[in-house]
């Protein structure tokens, strides 16, 4: 809480994007999360990414489940569509929404509780279907809203605020996603806005499901010594493996990279993701190697970040389900309901 609502201030000579909107036009309501919560930084990164992409908020759909993370859809893009759904059921809601209108941009925001416990099955199947959405998993290792119990992403040996030690193995959302055919897997940290913003932009441009696992520390219940998801721990073990820059179709690629260091990935929207390998031997297009690297980093406690895996070749749900180009709301009633005679003819085929 704050004493007053973050004001929307339009300053003289402030920067604007191609739509003439300022960064502040992409804000939402004032956050009611704890001061210092990593989720607020993810919110800010989303607002900035949509501003930089010059997205029109009315073409964006925000969906979330239940939890601290799921409150955050309120805090950006106040003019976008959105639904705060049932605990763990956001991926299904998003799948349905994406099925009826493939022209909108879908942003799911969830947390480690919502996605890796109650909603694990839901998330897994949205990944398998390659629903065209960006899925932000705000990962802090605890149930913050219920005062700090370990979540399914807590590392073995991580300590709770009152001293208990977690003994259960963690679910690594990135490894799990790779194992079931995810086409865009990234990891980042709420404290690295530069990386996060470029990953969000790349994820939005990607055709299909884009998972961004964001280490987003819980400042109230998991930011102490002994926690493996605190700010201090994350800054210490944070490692950038691959940097991804999204270059929109309208722009020329101007940055010069060393031979072998850069790797352009052509996208279906005509844009490009420019991958810059910070670890020379890391190949973000090799699923097996990426998984091996991630499992290795689990042992060393290293937090591997960046665009860890990308596959632009698999069709998204809309394509392999041959969904119509026209949104459901614009398909005439006569087409949706061709009448009793048409039904009779279809039934006839099955006799």
Partner 1 sequence: MKATDTSNPDYFHKVVDCQWACPAHTPVPAYIRLIAQGRYGDAYLLNRDSNVFPGVLGRVCDRPCEPACRRTRVDGEPVAICRLKRVAADHREDIADRLPQKPEQTNGKRIALIGAGPASFTVANDLAPLGYECTIFEKLPEAGGLMRANIPAFRLPEKVLNEELQYILDMGVELKLNSPVSSMKTLLDEGWDAVFVGTGAPKGKDLHLPGREDADANIHIGIDWLESVAFEHIDKIGKNVLIIGVGNTAMDCCRTSLRLGAENVKVMARKPRNFFKASEWELEDAEEENIQIVVNHSPKAFVTENGKLVGMTFELMEYDIDDKGDITGQRTIGEETLPCDDVILAIGQENAFPWIEKDAGIEFGKWDVPIVDDETFESTRKGVFFGGDAAFGPKNIIWAVEHGHQAAISIHRYCQGRDLHNRAPREVELQSAKMGMFEWRYSNAYTAAERREMEHVALVDRFQRLNIEVELGFNAEQIAIEVQRCLNCDVQTVFEAPLCEECDACIDVCPVECLSITPAADSEAELRASLTQPEAPEDQSLYVSNPLPLTGRVMIKDENICLHCGLCAERCPTSAWDMKEGVIKIPHADDQMETVA
For binding to partner 1 (CB under 8 A), which residues are involved? 1-4, 6-9, 11-12, 14-15, 23-24, 31, 34-38, 40-41, 43-44, 190-191, 193, 217, 219, 223, 231-232, 235-236
Closer CB to partner 1, 36 or 121, in the complex: 36
How far apart are alpha carbons 277 and 265 in whole angstroms? 13
Is the Cα dihedral 306, 268, 64, 41 positive or negative?
A: positive
How far apart are alpha carbons 175 and 188 in whole angstroms? 14
Structural contact between residues 77 and 46, judged by C-beta atoms closer than 8 angstroms: yes
Kind of pairing between the strands at 184-189 and 209-215: parallel
Closer CB to partner 1, 21 or 23, in the complex: 23
Min CB(27)–partner 1 separation in Å: 8
Closest CA to 185 of 208, 216, 212: 212
Min CB(233)–partner 1 separation in Å: 10
Closer CB to partner 1, 11 or 329, in the complex: 11
Closer CB to partner 1, 23 or 268, in the complex: 23
Closer CB to partner 1, 44 or 267, in the complex: 44
Alpha helices per DSSP H over 146-192: 173-179
Distances from the Cα of 222 to the Cαs of 47, 67, 229, 302, 351, in angstroms?
A: 25, 15, 7, 18, 63
Structural contact between residues 83 and 125, judged by C-beta atoms closer than 8 angstroms: no
Min CB(190)–partner 1 separation in Å: 7
Alpha helices per DSSP H over the chain: 38-52, 68-71, 90-100, 112-113, 120-129, 173-179, 193-205, 231-237, 287-300, 317-320, 333-336, 340-349
Closer CB to partner 1, 12 or 167, in the complex: 12
Min CB(5)–partner 1 separation in Å: 8
- Residue 188 pairs in a beta bridge with 214
Supply angle C-alpha 199, 204, 238, rounded to 5.
15
Closer CB to partner 1, 217 or 284, in the complex: 217
């Amino acid at each position: 809480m704050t004493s007053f609502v973050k004001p929307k201030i339009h300053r003289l000579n402030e920067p604007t994007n191609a739509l003439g909107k300022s960064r502040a036009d992409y804000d939402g309501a004032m956050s009611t999360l704890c001061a210092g919560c990593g989720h607020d930084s993810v919110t800010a990164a989303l607002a900035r990414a949509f501003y930089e992409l010059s997205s029109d908020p009315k073409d964006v759909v925000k969906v979330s489940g239940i939890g601290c993370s799921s409150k955050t859809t309120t805090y950006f893009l106040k003019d976008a569509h959105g639904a705060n759904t049932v605990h763990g059921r956001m991926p299904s809601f998003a799948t349905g929404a994406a099925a009826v209108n493939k022209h909108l941009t879908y942003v799911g925001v969830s947390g480690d509780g919502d996605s890796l416990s109650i909603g694990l099955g839901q998330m897994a199947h949205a990944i398998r279907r390659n629903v065209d959405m960006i899925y932000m998993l705000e990962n802090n290792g605890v149930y913050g809203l219920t005062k700090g119990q370990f979540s399914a992403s807590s590392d073995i040996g991580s300590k709770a605020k009152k001293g208990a030690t977690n003994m259960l193995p963690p679910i690594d959302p990135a490894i799990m996603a790779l194992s079931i055919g995810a086409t865009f897997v990234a990891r980042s940290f709420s404290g690295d806005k530069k990386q996060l913003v470029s990953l969000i932009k790349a994820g939005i441009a990607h055709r299909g499901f884009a998972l961004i696992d964001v280490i987003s520390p819980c400042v109230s219940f998991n930011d102490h010594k002994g926690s493996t998801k605190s700010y201090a721990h994350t800054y210490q073990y944070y490692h950038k493996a691959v940097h991804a820059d999204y270059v929109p179709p309208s722009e020329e690629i101007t940055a010069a990279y060393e031979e072998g260091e850069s790797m352009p990935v052509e996208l279906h929207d005509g844009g490009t993701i420019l991958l810059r390998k910070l670890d020379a031997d890391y190949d973000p297009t090799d699923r097996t190697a990426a998984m091996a690297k991630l499992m290795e980093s689990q042992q060393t406690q290293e937090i591997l970040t960046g665009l860890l895996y990308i596959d632009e070749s698999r069709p998204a749900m809309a394509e392999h389900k041959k969904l119509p180009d026209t949104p459901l709301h614009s398909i005439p009633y006569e087409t949706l309901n061709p009448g009793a005679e048409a039904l009779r003819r279809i039934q006839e085929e099955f006799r």
